[in-house]
Structure 1
Amino acid sequence: MGKLQSKVKRNSSKYRADGYVDVSCPSPNVPQNIPAHNDAVTSVAALKSDLCVSGGKDKAVIVSNWRTGAALTRFFGHEKEVTKVASVFGSNRLFSASRDKMVNMWEVHEKSGPSQKFLGHHLVVTGLAVSPDSCKLFSGSRDNSICKWDIETGQCLQKAAISRNLVTHMCWVPNDSYFIQTSEDKTIRIWDSRELQVAHTFPAKQYIQMYCDASQDGRYCITCSNGFGGQGCEATLWDLRQTRDRVLEYQGHLQTTAACVFLPNDVVAAPLVATSSHDCMVKLWNQDTGACLNTLFLDGAGPLASLAVCDTTFLLCASFNSGIHALRLESGKGPELREIAKF
């Protein structure tokens, strides 16, 4: 694995996008805290200004202080790997999905077990979308279905199924009643949460769509795809408000791009996008031009699975081999991501 990663790093120049700046490695003095998980971390989400929640192959859901790297609460209740975690920033409720076909709800300060269980999918649950008031929950699965849940009772209120719609990720559109969903059928769908109906379907891409995120102003969404050898592996910006067409693509990763997020920032005037990939790289992009501004190579981290925005300058990245990486957005000679800790 080490030889493969070194080779990827040396030969990455031929995949560089216009505006590429550099490939930076993490500082050798990055603090290594006790790992929160004892296996691969599959998903991470921001909870509060100093808290995050993560899920992993060890079946655990863990609340950590990402500033100190300390694991504060460990929740156990899933029988198989946790695939997704989700929460509304500032809320005390968090949700987890698993290969055990179940979705659990947890309370940050309760350690006795899940405060609610949601049973209704027939295969692994791979997507979660939570409304901004934390009162509406939607889940998606490889069983081709989307479920709408009553959070208080755990009852499935509605269920919609579309042939070959193997859900990969879901996210809520801020200040709206819609959520977005990506799928292994290479399609991105916008759902109306009120009637649980598809409101719009973007043109199918060439590769499986792995992840999605919506901008805070609700004008755009970004998705990313699997791939190999630099083919596919891109992130795509879509217009949600007007033409609902593809705006541009961010190309430069060597392997599957597993996560993509919009970055609110006070560092530069231009809006930013971040992506993480199985090639061990986190890339920073100019949202409007598609230029790659910075690449951070996390040596030995293995596939990078998930990203979570903490505030205007901090980002968390979940990895298979080295836990969760805390990254800071700095200005310097230009916008740059620096690893400051891992846990």
Structure 2
Amino acid sequence: MLLLRYQLKQAPPQKVWCRFCAVMGKLQSKLKHSTYKYSRPDEIIEERIQTKAFQEYSPAHMDTVSVVAALNSDVCVSGGKDKIVVAYNWKTGNVVKRFKGHEHEITKVTCIPNSNQFFSASRDRMVMMWDLHGSSQPRQQLCGHAMVVTGLAVSPDSSQLCTGSRDNTLLLWDVVTGQSVERASVSRNVVTHLCWVPREPYILQTSEDKTLRLWDSRGLQVAHMFPAKQYIQTYCEVSVDGHKCVSCSNGFGGEGCEATLWDLRQTRNRICEYKGHFQTVASCVFLPRALALMPLIATSSHDCKVKIWNQDTGACLFTLSLDGSGPLTSLAVGDAISLLCASFNRGIHLLRMDHSRGLELQEVAAF
């Protein structure tokens, strides 16, 4: 209450009411209050409260959303605890199609490049292939894992799919025939995520054994293991040019909870770390270079925050707190200025980069 009184004394009359409502949680309208921290050039951290018109689209899911991925510049695909894969036009705020077939929670989705087809994985140990313009039933059902499937990656030429699971195995599939062509298993290698390196035969994989592995799809063998981290590696992504990758880790109370940039070329060294989250970092993405003069990375965490980082220096440039969202589970680039962020409590958040007052990230809609 002392803090509230201090804010009332310091703030102009118009801002007093907005801040009071934001603190007490009693504003019942479609105005959205977002709290964020902004790093000024003089290294002073300013906390701002912004009030923006906020659009509530029709919901994509009725329960926790586990994963979201961009199918194209208008449509995303997502899945969660409701067992349904949803294709959603996030620019118009409408469901395009719902796909039913899984018997348990959706854990991963991945899209086939330059097509309308995508895959989903689930706790039911199945992987299913879908077509946006086809039937609402799966085109293929791939069964080969003994436990929940936790990794999906499509090859750059779209001919192969790699899947990973908590059963310590990776499987390589022929996309056309739906047949498994390679199988590999490493003790205690509980897969958390997979992604394919652009224009290369290599697959990047994070694991609960705290390691990051690079697999050669030609024979499905480990080509390189990066130095083990102190915490479970939860997610990974490769840069568009294939030269770098970023992974992130679990943690609590600020211990762990970081993202790490790695060199994928000859040295394969650790380049930079990004520290500032207070709970598990669930997702990390490279942002389109058009967004800023410098290369940027974005992370989302169970602490309800999305952070934007200077890729080269590790400096946190912006923090957006999605109040009431619960843990943030997945992050995807929608287009050159938009991010899609999945959450436990409030579905999928549409975030937009704004350069009118410097680098800012704003929530503009949720669905």
What letter corresponds to residue 323 of structure 2 in structure 1?
Answer: D
In structure 2, what is the Cα distance between the partners aligned to 1:24 and 1:130? 41
Q: Deviation string for 1:140-181 (max 9, x for gaps)?
A: 000000000112222111110000000001111112111100
Asked if the contact 1:267/1:335 (under 8 Å) is kept, the reply is no
Pairs within 5 Å for 1:280-295: 280-295=304-319
Q: Does 1:66 align with 2:86?
A: no
User: CA 1:186 to 1:283, structure 2 compared with 1: closer, same or farther past 3 Å?
Assistant: same
Deviation at 1:267, TM superposition (A): 3.1
Tell me which residue corresponds to 2:267: 243
What letter corresponds to residue 206 of structure 2 in structure 1?
Answer: T
- More displaced stretch, 287-296 vs 105-114: 105-114
Structure 2 residues not aligned, in runs of 5+: 1-22, 24-35
In structure 1, what is the Cα distance between the partners aligned to 2:103 and 2:81? 10
Asked if the contact 1:256/1:279 (under 8 Å) is kept, the reply is yes
Tell me which residue corresponds to 1:327: 351
Tell me which residue corresponds to 2:180: 156
Q: Which has the larger radius of gyration?
A: 2
Deviation at 1:132, TM superposition (A): 2.1
Asked if the contact 2:113/2:158 (under 8 Å) is kept, the reply is no
User: CA 1:121 to 1:256, structure 2 compared with 1: closer, same or farther past 3 Å?
Assistant: same
Deviation at 1:28, TM superposition (A): 5.0
The structure whose RCO (Cα within 8 Å, separation 6+) is larger is 1
Tell me which residue corresponds to 1:114: 138
Asked if the contact 1:210/1:226 (under 8 Å) is kept, the reply is yes
What letter corresponds to residue 157 of structure 2 in structure 1?
Answer: D
User: CA 1:259 to 1:21, structure 2 compared with 1: closer, same or farther past 3 Å?
Assistant: farther
Tell me which residue corresponds to 1:201: 225
Match of 2:109 among 67, 76, 85: 85
What letter corresponds to residue 267 of structure 1 in structure 2?
Answer: L
In structure 2, what is the Cα distance between the partners aligned to 1:19 and 1:289? 14
Q: TM-score, normalised by structure 2?
A: 0.87
- More displaced stretch, 62-71 vs 249-258: 62-71
User: CA 1:22 to 1:150, structure 2 compared with 1: closer, same or farther past 3 Å?
Assistant: farther
Q: How many residues align?
A: 331
Asked if the contact 2:98/2:136 (under 8 Å) is kept, the reply is no
Q: TM-score, normalised by structure 1?
A: 0.92
Tell me which residue corresponds to 1:9: none
What letter corresponds to residue 346 of structure 2 in structure 1?
Answer: S
Report % sequence identity.
61
In structure 2, what is the Cα distance between the partners aligned to 1:33 and 1:112? 23
SS at match of 1:37: coil
Q: Which contiguous aligned blocks of 4+ residues in structure 1 show a shift greater than 6 angstroms? A: none
Asked if the contact 1:116/1:151 (under 8 Å) is kept, the reply is no
Tell me which residue corresponds to 2:6: none
Tell me which residue corresponds to 1:98: 122
SS at match of 1:266: helix
Asked if the contact 1:283/1:292 (under 8 Å) is kept, the reply is yes
Asked if the contact 2:100/2:136 (under 8 Å) is kept, the reply is no
Q: What is the aligned-residue RMSD (CA, Å)? A: 1.9
In structure 1, what is the Cα distance between the partners aligned to 2:186 and 2:158? 26
SS at match of 2:55: coil
Q: Does 1:138 align with 2:139?
A: no
